[in-house]
Structure 1
Amino acid sequence: MSLAQAQNIAASLGGSSESIWLSQVTAITVTVLGPPIAQAADYWGRKWFVVATTLLGFAGCMVVSRSISMGMAIGGEILAALGYSSQALLNAIASEILPRRLRPAAQGGLGLTSGIGAASSLLFGFHMVSVSPDGWRVFFYVTAALILISALLFAFLYNPPPRPLQHSLTTTEKLNHLDWTAYIFLLLGIVLFSMALTWSDNPYPWNNSHVAVTFAIGVTFLVALAIHQIFFKKDGLCHHELFKKDRNCAIAFLCVFVEGLSFFASNNFYPSEMAILFESDTFRVGCRASITFFAAIVSSISVSIYSSLTKDIRNPVVFAYLSIVIYTVLMATATLDSSQATFAYPVFLGLGLGIVVSNLTTAAQLSAPPALIAIVSGLLAGTRSLGGSIALPIFNSIFNGNFSKHVGSNIASAVIPLGLSSNVLPRIIAALSSGDQDALAVIPGVTPEIIAAGIHGLKSTYLISYRYVWVAAGAFSFMAAIASCFLINPKDLNMHVDAPLEDEKEHEQDAIGSQERSKA
């Protein structure tokens, strides 16, 4: 939850212009490492990848909690992000150990627990910050402890039989089966592409070489990755068998990309908008943000029951994206008098998020061959994080551009009619924008009425800037709503289990032995 705590960490450590990297490194790490880890898990098994990365997540949270600089916090978040990089394996495990008929319930259950965890962490984290400016450190201590407990529980309680490829291939053969060329292209492409987008207007303009050159090189590697996967490596990272059965995989990748974009946009901009425009109490900001996840809990439970009983995957996804569109429209049309209304708007977002990930994961997994269930889960997680890594810098650029464009004129139109000299206008704009009360107090001619009018002009600027972010997010979500209409309801939601926890051969031998003993 560094995304939600980024502003609090920046307020404590400084380096607010770098705080976006607390979120970006998570999205980049999951995008780059999620698919390779999922592919490797088919050869070495799921268990120890989950345990090892989760322990790294524990170490990362400890580093963040002890940070004395923004650079150290970002380094700790990179380690913590390694813990998220195997999360797709949990989606794969939950599906493959249960009958296919129960896959919607399995994915809905994961959504339920994720929603509980997200809501609890938001409330606890913002409460600790409201108690003390350094309360985010306690939040990361507690998070580290919970991650350590989960790693130990998984290590001791999850003991599946070895997968077929674990026995049939040597270590050298396993290493040769991995798509190393794709990993390198993916790493270089995503890192450089995301760095360029993050640097744009923060602090470099688009025509600066830091942005332009980095962007061009990143795109080149991503194009090379696409060419490699389409024409030269048909059984690699993007295995072609994923797309042969039907169109569900392709649509799921597109839609989950947009879901990641919408989620990261809301998780970053909704709390900051509430804090700037409507709330002075940090805990109340957390309460507002947590509504999304409480709504997601309800929709996760509901869709798991509905889709398991009806075998309908498509219609809930369409409904989910329309719900997200409604949320963005409501946020885009909010005014400075919408404080109470914006408390309820996240309900629509949560209803959508609780459905989208679980049903898209189910659709993609059933579209893929059983042997590729981990790969498709990893690609979905990576694609979702890619949406987030692209969303944050793009939306930040939209926000910053509109804020810079309107802040001067809005404050001027508010304070000049009240008699403030235009000579001191730059000083009051700078003081209001930075929240420097001491600087405001020494500006000649400034009165409480002028300060109040200037604050109103500043808030109007923030409102306009946020509005364009929500419009952009809504446009993407509407496209996903259209795409989701073309999903195909799977026909093989039956009682077959792809990877039972018991060894099937041993189970069959025990059954035969039991029958022979009964005959005797």
Structure 2
Amino acid sequence: MVRNKHDSGFAATNGHGLQDGNGVVPNSKEDVSHMEKVDRSSDENNYNNLKQTNTASTYVHETFSVKLFLALLAMSFLWVGSQIPLYLIGGVLPDVYGEIGGYDRWVWVTIAYFIPVAALCPFVGELSDLFGRKYVGMFGQLLLVIGPIVTCTANQMNVAIGGMVISGAGAGLNELIALAATGEMVPNAKRGIYVGAVVLTIIPFAPSVLWAELIVQASKWRYVGAFIAGWNGVGLILLALCYWPPPRSNSVGLSRREILRHIDYVGGALSIGGVMCFMMGLQWGAQQYPWKSVHVLVPFCIGVVLIIAYFVWEMGGYPKYPMVPPRIFSQAKRTMIVTLLITFFSGANFFNMLLFWPTEIYNVYGDDRVKIGIRSLPVGFGILGGAVISLVAIPLTKGNVRAIMMFFTALMTAGTGAVAIARPNNISTAYIPVSLACIGVGGVIIPVAIIAQIVCPDDLLGTITAISLSIRFVGGAIGFSIYYNIFYKHVFSNVQNMVAVETIIYKLGYVQGLATGDQSYVTNLAQSIAQAQYAMFRNLSTIAYNTPEVQAYIPNVTLSEFQYQIVNATEWAFASAYQWPYWISIAFGGSCFILSCFLGNVSEFLTEHVAAHL
């Protein structure tokens, strides 16, 4: 291992011969030979070989102290700050595109947040292991101050999307730092408990949609972004003042130039470019452009080629210091591989509940702000509760992660699939599967990353955490693309049939333009409510109601009743389309359940070993 003059393992001679660092004179040639061999260990060996030691000092239990508490407090601000941009701004998206326009691009507010997370995480994990958690985390906090400010001051949707890209990059860094740093500051056996405690600090923001709706009701949606920036500003200060980890073992004794030589630039460029192009192609093909168009095929194909090139580069042994060191799999290869696969497939279920249920609340059950917030509570509290229960269960079951993951993946699969029963007239019944699904999702997505940390070498905690986050978001984006394609297809079909034809034409008698083959009047009326363009809907529905055909067809129906019939038909059209993503999610959840059967017991890793002493 690399040594410096203060910790060389050797002391200067005192006239009585060579001494070791503890002042003990070697008694034999073998002792001197052994010391010389240690001294000759190179930087390369230090990087590529995990330090193995059985000395008592390495396994000292990190007692709870003020210093540890303040460091965990900083991690809490990082964790919460990495989650709330999406939860809060995502809760008021109709208000955002209602003021600045861009209804046809609103989905990119969400996707733009995820792309930098998936693209940058593996690269940042390596930087974190080399440069240290603190400075990478501070940079992430700075991005999470700038990003929300850009979004909340935007007057165009494209600018707001750009702000979410910045926020997403910061969020990817800080979720990584919060989980990895917390895990390495405490004994292996208690990682689940401590990480669970940090995760639990987001409880006040579990009803984030409700808080966002109340902020808008009291002022404007722009104050949501101001709050997010303020929170992360406080987190930046706490991180700078309260978190003082030791130098990373990967970089002790190395100069800046030597550290920079340890970065896999080619692998980073291939992974970032590949993931970004691949995800952009997927999402453009989901709504904005035909799958066979140049807009979709070019980035999609480039992304696939770059991703293949990345795997060839990494697995072919070309980089001297790979982004995914083979040593990650050295301690429990099968368990590590299975956890990464579960992470990938469970990301699709996570995105399903995170992105579809909140929009279903709005489109199927009405736009009352307080009710929207209340109906979204099962998502926040369910995911949070499931994560904590699962994390605490790891030490309580002495590392029986197979049973834990089998239970939660089964709950996630069954619950998510059962959400398909939701209809406009059974919201109370729908709460049950929604709650179970979210508990299942929470019991999988975060704990499976902690399992990967437990079986990972200490000096690669940041790397494995970053890989887990990236895989989760890539899997989620692929799942979301599949869900949204099928959902959008059925929404379009249902609005045409159930709203335009069955309700507006046959039930309400609005047939303007149909005699001449002009369907635009009926289509525009149906699409205005389907796209939540309420001002346009009120105007078009009033015009339609006052036509002679409608007055003669339904003479005793008032304007409000006329509008209600169209709104109600639209709600049923959406409900019928929403069931498809939940049905499809069963395939992803079922894959997770099967994979969980192959997890090994991690009890041997649940020791009092602490990866990083403060």
Question: Normalized against structure 1, the TM-score is what?
Answer: 0.90
- Answer 1 or 2: which has greater helix percent: 1
> Counterpart in 2 of 1:505?
none
- Distance in structure 2 (CA, Å) of the matches to 1:126 and 1:342: 22
Question: How much has 1:233 moved relative to structure 2?
Answer: 4.2
> Counterpart in 1 of 2:136?
49
Q: Does 1:150 align with 2:235?
A: yes
Q: Given the alignment, which residue of 480, 491, 509 partners 2:592?
A: 480
Flag the structure with larger Rg.
Answer: 2
- Distance in structure 2 (CA, Å) of the matches to 1:259 and 1:476: 7
Q: Given the alignment, which residue of 365, 368, 373 partners 1:286?
A: 373
Q: Does 1:413 align with 2:502?
A: yes
Q: Which stretch shifts more, 44-53 or 84-93?
A: 84-93
Distance 1:140 1:421, change over 3 A: closer
> Counterpart in 1 of 2:27?
none
> Counterpart in 2 of 1:196?
281
Q: Given the alignment, which residue of 180, 183, 201 partners 1:92?
A: 180
Question: How much has 1:375 moved relative to structure 2?
Answer: 0.6
- Distance in structure 1 (CA, Å) of the matches to 2:369 and 2:197: 30
Quick one: which amino acid aligns to residue 191 of structure 2?
A: R
Quick one: which amino acid aligns to residue 331 of structure 1?
A: V
Quick one: which amino acid aligns to residue 289 of structure 1?
A: S
Quick one: which amino acid aligns to residue 481 of structure 2?
A: P
Question: How much has 1:261 moved relative to structure 2?
Answer: 2.1
- Distance in structure 1 (CA, Å) of the matches to 2:508 and 2:372: 36
- Distance in structure 2 (CA, Å) of the matches to 1:213 and 1:417: 44
Q: How does 1:111-510 map to 2 (within 5 A)?
A: 111-114=199-202, 116=203, 118-132=205-219, 134=220, 136-233=221-318, 235-244=321-330, 245-311=332-398, 312-411=400-499, 412-418=501-507, 420=509, 422=511, 424=513, 426=519, 427-435=521-529, 436-443=537-544, 444=547, 445-446=549-550, 447=554, 448=557, 451-502=563-614
SS of the counterpart of 1:166?
coil
CA RMSD of aligned residues (A): 2.2
Question: How much has 1:289 moved relative to structure 2?
Answer: 1.4
- Distance in structure 1 (CA, Å) of the matches to 2:247 and 2:493: 60
Distance 1:346 1:126, change over 3 A: farther
> Contact conserved, 1:118 with 1:290, CA < 8 A, in 2?
no
SS of the counterpart of 2:481?
helix
Q: Which stretch shifts more, 189-198 or 332-341?
A: 332-341
- Distance in structure 1 (CA, Å) of the matches to 2:247 and 2:415: 45
> Counterpart in 1 of 2:146?
59
Distance 1:491 1:24, change over 3 A: same
SS of the counterpart of 1:147?
helix
Question: Normalized against structure 2, the TM-score is what?
Answer: 0.77
Quick one: which amino acid aligns to residue 297 of structure 1?
A: L
Question: How much has 1:173 moved relative to structure 2?
Answer: 1.7
Question: How much has 1:423 moved relative to structure 2?
Answer: 5.3
- Give CA-to-partner distance per residue, 1:357-408, whole Å, 9 cap, x none: 3321222112222221111011011111222333333322222111222322
Q: Which stretch shifts more, 450-459 or 167-176?
A: 450-459
- Give CA-to-partner distance per residue, 1:395-435, whole Å, 9 cap, x none: 22222111222322223133444362655563233212212
- Distance in structure 1 (CA, Å) of the matches to 2:430 and 2:389: 24
Quick one: which amino acid aligns to residue 108 of structure 1?
A: G
Distance 1:180 1:422, change over 3 A: same
Q: Which stretch shifts more, 446-455 or 20-29?
A: 446-455
Quick one: which amino acid aligns to residue 471 of structure 1?
A: W
> Contact conserved, 2:123 with 2:323, CA < 8 A, in 1?
yes
Distance 1:68 1:315, change over 3 A: same
Gaps of 5+ in 2: 1-85, 530-536
Quick one: which amino acid aligns to residue 417 of structure 2?
A: V
Distance 1:163 1:187, change over 3 A: closer
- Distance in structure 1 (CA, Å) of the matches to 2:347 and 2:292: 28
> Contact conserved, 1:47 with 1:155, CA < 8 A, in 2?
yes
> Contact conserved, 2:117 with 2:470, CA < 8 A, in 1?
yes
Question: How much has 1:7 moved relative to structure 2?
Answer: 3.0
- Give CA-to-partner distance per residue, 1:468-520, whole Å, 9 cap, x none: 11112232112112212211120324433342324xxxxxxxxxxxxxxxxxx
Quick one: which amino acid aligns to residue 477 of structure 2?
A: S
Distance 1:163 1:415, change over 3 A: closer
Distance 1:344 1:279, change over 3 A: farther
SS of the counterpart of 1:167?
coil
- Distance in structure 2 (CA, Å) of the matches to 1:8 and 1:314: 44
> Contact conserved, 1:292 with 1:346, CA < 8 A, in 2?
yes
- Give CA-to-partner distance per residue, 1:227-250, whole Å, 9 cap, x none: 112223475122222234321222
- Give CA-to-partner distance per residue, 1:296-344, whole Å, 9 cap, x none: 3333333333221222222222222222222222221222321222234
Distance 1:201 1:56, change over 3 A: closer
- Distance in structure 2 (CA, Å) of the matches to 1:82 and 1:384: 15
SS of the counterpart of 1:259?
helix
Question: How much has 1:460 moved relative to structure 2?
Answer: 2.4
Question: How much has 1:258 moved relative to structure 2?
Answer: 2.6
Superposition misfits of 4+ residues, deviation over 6 angstroms: none
Q: Which stretch shifts more, 67-76 or 407-416?
A: 407-416
> Contact conserved, 2:143 with 2:167, CA < 8 A, in 1?
yes
Question: How much has 1:442 moved relative to structure 2?
Answer: 1.8
For this pair of structures, how many residues does the alignment match?
A: 499
- Distance in structure 1 (CA, Å) of the matches to 2:179 and 2:386: 18
Gaps of 5+ in 1: 503-520
> Contact conserved, 2:149 with 2:226, CA < 8 A, in 1?
yes
SS of the counterpart of 1:300?
helix
Distance 1:217 1:462, change over 3 A: same
Q: Does 1:12 align with 2:99?
A: yes
> Contact conserved, 1:271 with 1:286, CA < 8 A, in 2?
no
